[in-house]
Structure 1
Amino acid sequence: MMSNFSKFGFILATLGSSIGLGHIWKFPYMAGVSGGGGFVILFLFLSLSIGISMLVAEMIIGQSTRKNTTEAFKQLDPSKKKRWGYAGITLIGGPFILTFYSIVLGWVLYYLFVVSFDLPQDIGASEARFDNLLTHSIWPQILGFTAVLGITGWVVSRGIKNGIEKLNFVLMPLLFIIFIGLLIYAMSMSSFGRAFDFMFAFRFEDITTNVLVASLGQVFFSLSLGVGIIITYSASSTQEQNLLKSAIWVVIPGILISLIAGLMIFTFVFEYGAKVTQGAGLVFVSLPLIFGKMGLIGSVISILFLCALGFAGITSTISLLEPSVMYIIDRFGLKRANATWLIVLGIYIAGIVLILSLNADYQAKLTFFHKSLFDWVDFSSSAIVMPLGGLLSVIFVGWIVGKKRVYELSENFLSKNMFELWFFILRYIAPLVVIVIWVAKILDLFA
């Protein structure tokens, strides 16, 4: 490794990879369409059990080998043929996800710099604004997409210490400051109690199979599992890093951001009579309308909220790019800057095609089986790429490396009893959870 994270820098970088659009954009709308309380309670329980267990497993793979994802699997594979090295192919998930993730983050930039200063005053205008951006406005999308990839490539090209760690030292504290400020403002509104009840009141009838699958999927998506990020970042951690404590410090702040985002957004939604079941359009349709009804303060809140969302998104795009960059550097000996911009170029070309697939003039040619190419990439990442990578990691650590070897790698931060509990979850429960998510997603496709 050319450089390592500091102990706190590793936690911030890993936290930055998980706190992205998944926590702030996806969590509130998933909670809204899933009925609130039941989804939130399940999300909390699963994050603190399955989530932490899977994080520690991927951290062990990276820290113990100090290698890129492919070489890490090879080094820990006890067999002579080292076929588990092929599991490292999951690192392509990062660039794959970036092709559409960067586009969504580009929408955030458009709303930050354009819509925040001209907020809609009725639901029709808000829906038309978002629809026009997606289906008719190619250049604003390309501009936002270009900016996101440019910033991402520049930071990653500067390396671990001078790029990724420095940025997270700035953006993560700013993110929490902005969100705490917005939460305090939301608490002053009369609808805060209703939002709190919606998110935390436990109603047994809310616990359905669909809600369970949705909460499992949210845990998986929000922790950046299965695409080589955790393995890669852990390879650049110090040998003294306590991985259990690090995992806890990643999961709990991530949960807090999700809960703050949910409380804040649902307070605004209830205060101004919008629908909690808006779905993916909650941030881009309902919130701009709500901010517009607030008057001048609405523009200020819109800017702060979108800045926080942008900060979270950028730290995630950086994390999605780093594993493939690290692999190219190790495998082909390229300089970091060259490897970074080579991959960014490929992502950029693919992303332009995805933008065109949303546009009314090109959509018909880029739609397959009633889904646009953009929707297919989005679906494939959450239904195939991430679950496959996560499943391979837990099976590898739980069944292939060997219990004795895994204990040796974890005994400096896990007691014997803690190890037994963690290993049981990893070997039996985590694979079942991933398979459930996987099967449910696939069945949903044909529903």
Structure 2
Amino acid sequence: MKREKFSSRLGFILISAGCAIGLGNVWRFPYVTGKYGGAAFVLIYIFFLLVLGLPIMVAELAVGRASQKSAAKSFDVLEPKGSKWHWYKWGAMAGNYLLMMFYTTIAGWMLYYVYKMASGQFTGLNADQVAGEFTGMTQQPGLMTGFMVVIVLLCFGICAMGLQKGVERVTKFMMISLFIMMIVLAVHSVTLKGGHEGLKFYLLPDFGKLQEHGLWEAIYAAMGQAFFTLSLGIGAIAIFGSYINKERRLTGEAISITALDTMVALIAGLIIFPACFAYNVNPGEGPSLIFITLPNVFNAMKFGNVWGTLFFVFMFFAAISTVIAVFENIISFATDLTGCSRKKAVLVNIVVVIVLSLPCVLGFNLWSGFQPLGAGSNVLDLEDFIVSNNLLPLGSLVYLLFCVSRYGWGWKKFTGEANEGKGMRFPGWVRGYVTFILPLIVLFIFVWGYLSKFFFH
């Protein structure tokens, strides 16, 4: 069976960026940026994207392209005889399924909020009532399950149409629409009365603010954000490497994907900070920013329903671009491992993903007594912790060591693959850094994630 390819380079870059562009860019990035003093934090973040994220992305793309397989078989194809790198396929598969166990639910929330905004259900509500709407939604397992199932059917339906006709065509349309919507929303936010304070906070570096929370904490947060934003380590990027030809070198492609990912995060800040400052709202933490703070902001705006609906459509696209990309990876695992058809892989996985997504839905209501990470935590927090703090860093470490170690694929073969085609070369002089220092940084992010979670509250 010949492996399907992307029809265009733009398709590859938009889809890989779509996989990396997820809710972390839109709600985690502005919140973390807000917490650590705006522009000064953004500079540190961009530095870490280049030194941490990029080399690992090139490694993952190279493994995908050289093997022409998903993570289910890529190590089997490339590893030296008798080595055990292929065992990691189970870690990569677990990462993809675990990510979808909570992401489908959150994407469902976005869709529900598109409907609520468009039908004017927030109009006239005060701040407490808006907060009540979110709590009300999470208390209804039937409602959340319904929207989660719609997401699963929709995204697997797109994947069932094939790589070019389904995944590539739909994602291209979504990503281009997403950029247009973001620019419209950002221009609107920036021109709000009082919005310039938010712009100043966001765009003028104030290194004093970094000191307030402790420089070290800000650096670790920037490292973590740079690392997690690109969805590295579970083979989700490698799969798209396996769908491209050898015309272009991989460093340039990785830079394009990273640049798009960063652009979305930065524009999200341009939408959120001026709006929050204009209406004196704290760009607060995590999900509450999206589901509680921003509906309040849109409520106060002229034509708030229109802006709010646009915003949630954009959020919905950001969420399902990731879901489609990971579903494509899950389908590729199935076809690579069992040789079954794409249709069969889709049908079986629809059932599997719906069943696996139920604990996250129930964790907010029927199972809310289960608080795995301490008081106030829920199933979603546990699933997110396993993926973000374990599988992503450890998986990235596997890809990195596989590419640089002589016990794995090895530096020569890795750079040979990365530098095939035209465009920017993967520089030879970084070998020492990539081989000895970068793995230690990744290991450190992993260990510190545990320490900060369980010991340094």
Q: Which residue of 2 aligns with 1:201?
A: 204
Matches within 5 A, 1:403-414: 403-412=411-420
Letter matched to residue 362 of structure 1: W
Q: Which residue of 1 aligns with 2:396?
A: 390
Q: Which residue of 2 aligns with 1:332?
A: 338
Please list every run of at least 4 consecutive aligned residues from structure 1 whose deviation after the TM superposition is greater than 6 angstroms.
Answer: 414-417
Aligned counterpart in structure 2 of residue 246 of structure 1, from 247, 250, 253:
253
Does the CA-based 8 Å contact 1:216-1:433 persist in structure 2? Answer: no
Aligned counterpart in structure 2 of residue 377 of structure 1, from 355, 378, 383:
383
Does the CA-based 8 Å contact 2:251-2:424 persist in structure 1? Answer: no
Letter matched to residue 87 of structure 1: Y
Aligned counterpart in structure 2 of residue 20 of structure 1, from 19, 22, 37:
22
Percent identical residues: 27
Q: Which residue of 2 aligns with 1:363?
A: 368
1:10 aligns with 2:12: yes
Task: Provide the secondary structure at the position in 1 that maps to 2:82.
Answer: coil
Structure holding more helix per residue: 1
Does the CA-based 8 Å contact 1:325-1:340 persist in structure 2? Answer: yes
Q: Which residue of 2 aligns with 1:150?
A: 153
65-74 vs 113-122, which moves further: 113-122
CA distance in 1, matches of 2:373, 2:190: 46
The TM-score, its normalising length taken from structure 1, stands at 0.94
Distance 1:128 1:409, change over 3 A: same
Task: Provide the secondary structure at the position in 1 that maps to 2:69.
Answer: coil
CA distance in 2, matches of 1:35, 1:277: 13
Task: Provide the secondary structure at the position in 2 that maps to 1:128.
Answer: helix
Aligned counterpart in structure 1 of residue 128 of structure 2, from 114, 124, 127:
124
Q: Which residue of 2 aligns with 1:91?
A: 93
CA distance in 2, matches of 1:392, 1:418: 19
CA distance in 1, matches of 2:432, 2:195: 40
Note the C-alpha offset of 1:70: 3.2
Aligned counterpart in structure 2 of residue 284 of structure 1, from 255, 268, 291:
291
CA distance in 1, matches of 2:27, 2:285: 12
Does the CA-based 8 Å contact 2:419-2:426 persist in structure 1? Answer: no
**1:145-177: per-residue Cα shift (whole Å, max 9, x none)?**
111111111111222111111112211111111
Letter matched to residue 312 of structure 2: L
Task: Provide the secondary structure at the position in 2 that maps to 1:364.
Answer: coil
Compute the RMSD of aligned alpha carbons.
2.0
Does the CA-based 8 Å contact 2:37-2:206 persist in structure 1? Answer: no
Letter matched to residue 183 of structure 1: A
**1:333-392: per-residue Cα shift (whole Å, max 9, x none)?**
211111123123122112112211111x43125756543222211111111111111111
48-57 vs 400-409, which moves further: 400-409
Does the CA-based 8 Å contact 1:366-1:372 persist in structure 2? Answer: yes
The TM-score, its normalising length taken from structure 2, stands at 0.92
Q: Which residue of 1 aligns with 2:325?
A: 319
Aligned counterpart in structure 1 of residue 262 of structure 2, from 252, 255, 263:
255
Does the CA-based 8 Å contact 2:38-2:206 persist in structure 1? Answer: no
363-372 vs 223-232, which moves further: 363-372
1:45 aligns with 2:47: yes
Unaligned runs of 5+ in 2: none
Unaligned runs of 5+ in 1: none
Matches within 5 A, 1:71-82: 71-78=73-80, 80-82=81-83
Letter matched to residue 127 of structure 2: I
Task: Provide the secondary structure at the position in 2 that maps to 1:239.
Answer: coil
